[in-house]
Amino acid sequence: MIRHLFKLIWNRKRSNFLLITEIFFCFLVLFAVLSLIVYNVRNYNKPLGFKHENVWLLTMRPDTDSTALNRQTLEQILQRTKGFQEIESVSLTNSNAPFAFSQMTTNLTYGQKEIKTDQFEVQDDFAEVMQMQVSKGRWFGPADNGAHHKPIVISKALERQLFEGEDPIGKVLPRNDSSSYQVVGVVDHYRPSSEYTAEEPAFFNRIYLPENEDEFYGEILMRVKPGMGVEFEERMVKALSGIGKGWTMEVATLEKMRQNKEKVSKVPMIALAIICGFLILNVALGLFGVLWYNINRRNSEIGLRRAVGASSSQVYRQFIGEVLVLATFGLVLGVAFAIQFPLLQVFDVESTVYFIALGIAVGMIYLLAVGCAFYPSRQAAAIHPAIALHEE
């Protein structure tokens, strides 16, 4: 019977061509959107590498251009923050704090390898503020004062790409003509951009104020005791504004920043899903309409099949089966096309993402097809054979 259905669909390929193309395109769009969603969801389920709860970000803008003066004030402010018993630990950072809309990349070379990587400038207490897990070596600290090489901590992702199995601890990497980095530790993960972003290679560069005299850092990350709210924030900002007179200060919780970032990541996904939904609805209506129309056109065939021994449920199954075969034709084309993405590695995305999306898309198309065929097929099965065979 299945062979019979394939033959029937094949012989009707000209009139089924439109439906098959429609299913083909519907599948491709579904596949694309699902790939994106699967990609995001998989990222979402991966560890961030840090704990953002109870971490605040203080952003400061000085009112003068004098770096020397600003540095003096900054150090006083930093000192003052450590004085609050509500604050557990603090670290200066560049503008690329977690969930911020800012990125800083550089290239690191080791032997013949050159890897593009995110760079984060932070202080010794950063590991404590963000509760990072150091899996190899150690975080940088006072022991590195006066070290010949600048100490860095790298992420596992960078370790994998740059060292490919070699032990990274102690390795010296060129920084510029006059100085170099030395790897002192490795952290498991660091994925600060957003929960939906894939992990990029990253390393942490030590801010040691006595040695970075001409630098200004405008952001302080601080871990506060649980339960701290607006009351403490106001008190703190007031106290700090007393030191940095005329400075603009802004406090944001990382949780708030995370939510902002989430919105920005979700909006295109939701928009795409809605567009995709409309497309599917459109295809569904088309499919439904054509099936409905076909049944009326195929009255004589239905009657004839009943006469030669098909039961009503066999007619029903035939019509459902035909739609499944039709969908299969469209899907074979679609899958042949979609499979190129993981095979050719068109984007730098794990193959698994594509395969999951492919599986779901195939399942959804079949469900869609059966869903659309359900009612028309029931109508077909309900047609009375004597009436269907009635001669005009």
Question: Whose Cβ is closer to other proteins: residue 12's or residue 160's?
Answer: 12
Which is nearest to 248 in space by CA: 208, 212, 219?
219
Length of the chain: 392
Largest CA distance in the chain: 102
Question: Whose Cβ is closer to other proteins: residue 238's or residue 390's?
Answer: 390
DSSP readout, 134-165?
EEEE----GGGTT-SSEEEEEEHHHHHHHHTT
Q: How far is the CB of 295 from other proteins (least distance, A)?
A: 14
Question: Whose Cβ is closer to other proteins: residue 348's or residue 392's?
Answer: 392
Question: Whose Cβ is closer to other proteins: residue 269's or residue 389's?
Answer: 389
Distance between CA atoms of residues 77 and 97, nearest Å: 19
Pairing, β 248-253 against β 105-110 = unpaired
Contacts of 387 (CB under 8 A, 6+ apart): 303
The Cβ-side half-sphere exposure at 236, using a 13 Å CA radius, reads 28
The Cβ-side half-sphere exposure at 94, using a 13 Å CA radius, reads 15
Question: Whose Cβ is closer to other proteins: residue 89's or residue 294's?
Answer: 294
Q: How far is the CB of 19 from other proteins (least distance, A)?
A: 15
- Binding residues vs other proteins (CB under 8 A): 1, 3-4, 7-8, 11-12, 300-301, 303-314, 384-386, 389-392
Q: How far is the CB of 308 from other proteins (least distance, A)?
A: 4
Question: Whose Cβ is closer to other proteins: residue 10's or residue 375's?
Answer: 10
Q: How far is the CB of 391 from other proteins (least distance, A)?
A: 6
The Cβ-side half-sphere exposure at 319, using a 13 Å CA radius, reads 33
Q: How far is the CB of 377 from other proteins (least distance, A)?
A: 16
DSSP for residue 66: -
Q: How far is the CB of 307 from other proteins (least distance, A)?
A: 5
